[in-house]
Amino acid sequence: MRLWAAHGRGANGRQIMPRPLRVATIVGSLRRESFSRKTANALAALAPDHLALEIVEIGDLPLYNEDLDHGEPPAAWARFREEMRGQEAVLFVTPEYNRSVPGVLKNAIDVGSRPYGHSIWAKKPGAVVSVTPGALGAFGANHHLRQSAVFLDMPLMPQPEAYLAGVGTWFGEDGTLQNEKAQPFLETVITAFADWCDKLLKGPGELA
């Protein structure tokens, strides 16, 4: 496995030990046979070997209510925030619901953004892959997510844009990618994302 260390030293001058870059994958669907989840798995399989992609689950997060952040927060929020704190970059793979992001994904974004001043999103390089069995590539979800990312101070990869349309026929019975035409594009996307992270992070968790 190739190991990641864009530069040899962190801001404090300490030598950075080469290791894989930790990338959280957030899937915006809870459906068992989700095309988004299958796409996320396909991207992980095609990723350069210095990216360690891991799906961080969001389906158990109670709906965000600021009152609950004034005392001990719900255990699932604490688990999610803790898991995300250990991640250095974020790959969003999401369907579109009614021309926007599914509520479950927006809820995860909100939970991760609070308490105020403790957002787990800020400064993390990210990318958005939007997925639909329909024809329009889930553009609405992709760009609503980008709007939130601007406010969250998350630099999202501008190019290549990934609007995946017609994914309903892409996967086999075992959930793996069977579409030979789609594979090179997915590989281009995940390789560009690796380059985006390498460019933005000068050391683990630090922007260059």
- Does 130 participate in binding ligand FNR (rule CB under 6 A)? no
Residue 160 CA to residue 47 CA, distance in Å, equals 15
Among 18, 59, 86, 134, binds ligand FNR (CB under 6 A): 134
Stretch that binds ligand FNR, among 30-38, 63-71, 104-112, 186-194 (CB under 6 A): 30-38
Size of residue set near ligand FNR by CB under 6 A: 16
Among 99, 122, 147, 185, binds ligand FNR (CB under 6 A): 99
Quick one: 57 or 69, whose CB is closer to ligand FNR?
57
Among 97, 143, 179, 192, binds ligand FNR (CB under 6 A): 97
Residue 69 CA to residue 77 CA, distance in Å, equals 9
CA dihedral 78, 80, 81, 84 (to 10 degrees): 150
Nearest Cα residue to 127 out of 142, 137, 138: 142
Residue 92 has phi, psi (to 5 degrees) of: -95, 130
- Does 138 participate in binding ligand FNR (rule CB under 6 A)? yes
CB of 85 to ligand FNR, least distance (A): 26
What is the amino acid identity at position 164?
L
- 173, containing H or E segment: none
Residues 39-78, mask of contacts with ligand FNR (x by CB under 6 A):
----------------------------------------
Residue 26 CA to residue 144 CA, distance in Å, equals 15
CB of 171 to ligand FNR, least distance (A): 10
Give how far the C-alpha of residue 115 lies from the chain's centroid of Cα atoms, to the nearest Å. 21
Nearest Cα residue to 177 out of 55, 54, 39: 39
3-class state of residue 1 by DSSP? coil
- Does 29 participate in binding ligand FNR (rule CB under 6 A)? yes
Residues 154-193, mask of contacts with ligand FNR (x by CB under 6 A):
----------------------------------------
Quick one: 6 or 45, whose CB is closer to ligand FNR?
45
- Does 133 participate in binding ligand FNR (rule CB under 6 A)? yes
Contact residues for 123 (Cβ-Cβ < 8 A; gap 6+): 153, 154, 155, 205, 207
Residue 27 CA to residue 22 CA, distance in Å, equals 16
Interacting residues with ligand FNR (CB under 6 A)? 29, 31, 34-36, 95-99, 131-134, 136, 138
